[in-house]
Structure 1
Amino acid sequence: MPARSRTTARRAPATRAQREPRKPVPPSALTTASLDEHDLTAESGFERLGFADLDLSERRAGAVEFSQCRFDKATLSGSELPRLGLTDCLIENCDWANLRAEGGKLDRVRVAESRMTGLTWTDGLVRDALFDRCRMDLSVWRFADFDTVRFSHCNLAGADFTNADLRTAQFVECDLTRAQFSNATMEGTRFRGCTLVGIAGVTSWSGAVVHHSDLLALSYALAAALNIRIDED
């Protein structure tokens, strides 16, 4: 993997206060987007638009920016959009499976009941974001910087958080089966009611806050990481 481009900007390890993500502030009225006028091209910008039932899959464009936009049943599946930016956006009932958005930015964004299987958001920023009841299995977040992010009731099975900064991230009622956390920064990361079977990189969990109901599954992962054999007789 190429060297991380934002290494110098990465926050130094420290305990940070937890707070809830700030809500996006879209305008009260939106202009309806159309493929004829609002298709994705390199370095294009879109503001105060409603993307409803639009198929934007398999697009190739860099540095696309969305501000104060709403996506409802919009499809970006299979698109390659490096340095994608979304600010003050609502995303609901969308299919963004296998979207590649390396170096992207999510800032004050709410994503609900959407399919994001295989999403790639490596070396990106995720700030003040809420993911609610989303399918995000096999998503890749390597080297991503999470700043006040909440995953609630999401399927994150097989997700890859290698080298991610997760200190102010929260995982509530999420399926994290076989998720990867190697070399992640996790002091203050919170887990509650999650499925933690087969997680990898558990030795990176120093300083994480885990609800007591999650400890049993976590103990098996710790034992495997430390090569401890469990005698069940």
Structure 2
Amino acid sequence: MAGIKIQKPKMAHDLPVEPFEVKEELYYDRMTIKDCSIFGENIHRITFDEVMFQNVVFEEVSFKNIELTDCVFDHCDLSNADFSEGSIHRVEFKNSKMLGTNFSDSSLGNVRFDKCQGNLSSFGFAKLKQVSFEDCSLQNGDFFECDFQKVAFERCSLNEVNFANTSLDGVDLSSCSFDQLQVSLDSLRGCIVNTEQAIGFARILGLEIKE
């Protein structure tokens, strides 16, 4: 994985299945939430620790300042959910729909996105350390002014993603597809691309290329 080690969530096997119910302490741990919808909840500072989400739909949900530790989201729909200003560590998002999901101003560490539909998702001003995106669609996503440390994009669709004011030094985009990115010249320094992508960037920068 491009030399990036991602710690897996630390979870017990056979976590008990329990329904999601709003409770006073807003702390949920060692449980499985599955085959349900969480609708219309607007809760700040909710905490999930060692929780498996399976086939859960988050609809009109705002969980600002969410704390997620050792969690897995498997075949979930998180479209337009607000997880901004969150703390997200040792978490996996697998085969999930994340259209317009908001992770802005969040801190993500040891997080893996695998086969997720994340078009229009927002990570603006977030800190990402040891984070991988594998086989994801992130078209028109926003990574404006992010802090990247050991971030990998593998076989992702990145067309029109905004990386403005985010350093891509050491980030390998060579396996990804895109026609255009929103980047600044400083952002591109040290970015790893393939030949075709390099020609595309040269054209964006106004260089004329002789074939």
TM-score calculated relative to the size of structure 2: 0.92
Say which of 14, 22, 27 aligns to 1:29: 14
Cα distance in 2 for partners of 1:222, 1:138 equals: 26
- Say if 1:105 and 1:124, in contact at 8 Å, map to a contact too: yes
Structure 2, unaligned stretches of length 5 or more?
Answer: none
Cα distance in 2 for partners of 1:229, 1:187 equals: 25
Count of paired positions: 209
Q: 1:195 to 1:42 in 2, by over 3 A?
A: farther
Instruction: Please state how far the C-alpha of 1:132 moved relative to its aligned partner.
Output: 0.5
Q: 1:139 to 1:65 in 2, by over 3 A?
A: same
Q: Does 1:144 align with 2:123?
A: no
Instruction: Give the letter for the 2:172 counterpart.
Output: R
Cα distance in 2 for partners of 1:195, 1:27 equals: 37
Say which of 174, 192, 206 aligns to 1:209: 192
Instruction: Give the letter for the 1:129 counterpart.
Output: V
Q: Does 1:130 align with 2:105?
A: no
- Name the SS for the 1:68 alignment partner: strand
The aligned counterpart of 2:199 is 219
Instruction: Please state how far the C-alpha of 1:221 moved relative to its aligned partner.
Output: 3.2
- Say if 1:87 and 1:109, in contact at 8 Å, map to a contact too: yes
Q: 1:106 to 1:71 in 2, by over 3 A?
A: same
Q: Does 1:99 align with 2:104?
A: no
Instruction: Please state how far the C-alpha of 1:43 moved relative to its aligned partner.
Output: 6.0
- Name the SS for the 1:128 alignment partner: strand
- Name the SS for the 2:124 alignment partner: coil
TM-score calculated relative to the size of structure 1: 0.83
Structure 1, unaligned stretches of length 5 or more?
Answer: 1-16
Q: 1:231 to 1:116 in 2, by over 3 A?
A: same
Higher strand proportion: 2
Say which of 54, 75, 86 aligns to 2:57: 75
- Say if 1:42 and 1:63, in contact at 8 Å, map to a contact too: no
- Say if 1:197 and 1:221, in contact at 8 Å, map to a contact too: no
Q: 1:148 to 1:42 in 2, by over 3 A?
A: farther
- Say if 1:103 and 1:125, in contact at 8 Å, map to a contact too: yes
The aligned counterpart of 2:181 is 199
The aligned counterpart of 1:12 is none
Cα distance in 2 for partners of 1:188, 1:208 equals: 5
Q: 1:42 to 1:180 in 2, by over 3 A?
A: farther
Cα distance in 1 for partners of 2:174, 2:30 equals: 36
> Taking every aligned residue pair, what percent have the same amino acid on both sides?
24
